[in-house]
Amino acid sequence: MIGALMLDIAGLALSTEDIQILANPQVGGIILFSRNIESPRQVRALTDHIRQVRPDILIAVDQEGGRVQRLKQGFTKLPAMGQFGQLYQTKPEQALVLAEQCGWLMATEVLAVGIDLSFAPVLDLNHISDVIGDRSFSSNIEDVVVLARAFMQGMQRAGMATTGKHFPGHGSVKADSHIATALDHRSYDEIANTDMQTFVELMPTLNALMPAHVIYPQVDRNPAGFSRYWIQEILRKQLGFEGVLFSDDLTMQAACVAGGADARILAALDAGCDMGLVCNNRSDAILALEAIQDRPLPEQERIERMKGKIPSLTITDELDLGDEWREVKQRILQI
């Protein structure tokens, strides 16, 4: 059974405390960061150990490419998604082929080391947000749609579910929600007709979404990830989205409007998120875990769909995943 909290670990291997906390039924996921990564062999040993302790758990990572890439040593250096947007202006067919291959390559490498999913891709528009920037494919809605669709088709071909972020759009907000309260003062219609369109058009290809820690005060006083209106009324009812909803990291500054970690995870789950992320603060993770002990577990069938097709492989310090992998790797490295 999969619980409603995703947390992190401190090192390259599980500690005694990690093993104890993983036994809690409300722990549903582990997210890995750069500090947990030494080599492909070490990561696969870590994920294998995690599954010995909790066979049903989801293991995730942020492997977007560009400046957001946790798996580095021994893995392909992936381009920022904005580079596909630039290429699309002059060579659209080539850009779409390479975007699909990059999604496949990323997912193939992540799955090979025992990780179910990367929280990717970013579907935000590259407007004024410094924290988004070239993590976005483009500032143009249709360019984002076609390139992100190709990238996600590559992920799914490799056996990985897709997670679009940050609904309904973070790209038109200057503030970095990691370190500040982020406000978007536009009307619902303005948001729905611009930033939200990428999410709407890509619904058929999306397995999961991550709402933004952005407050849209003309729509609701709560950040989207804490908002029953955004999640229940817009996403579930109006748009009919049936995939998984992961909160963004609940230790981010923009999430602190809800109170302590216990209040934050309750706010996210009450709004309709399936799983809450509490990262880089073990005391907050424990506080959140205590707060949800008496809650029912999330909808299992929905979350089960996020499990990746993890191959049975013996992984060494240097990845070698076959002829297609070698060919695609060379193409992607030349971008």
Q: Which residues are catalytic?
A: 178, 248
Buried b (16+ CB within 10 A) or exposed e, 22-49: bebebbbbbbbeeebbbbbbbbbbbbee
Q: Which residues contact 190 (CB under 8 A, 6 or more apart)?
A: none
Separation in Å, CA 128 to CA 143, 155, 198, 201: 17, 28, 17, 22
Q: Which residue blocks in the chain are alpha helix, DSSP H?
A: 16-22, 40-53, 82-90, 92-112, 141-158, 188-193, 197-202, 228, 261-271, 282-291, 300-304, 323-333
Task: Give the separation between CA 85 and CA 130, rounded to whole angstroms.
Answer: 17
Partner residues linked to 32 by β-bridges? 61
CA atoms within 13 A on the CB side of 65: 29
First to last CA, the chain: 42
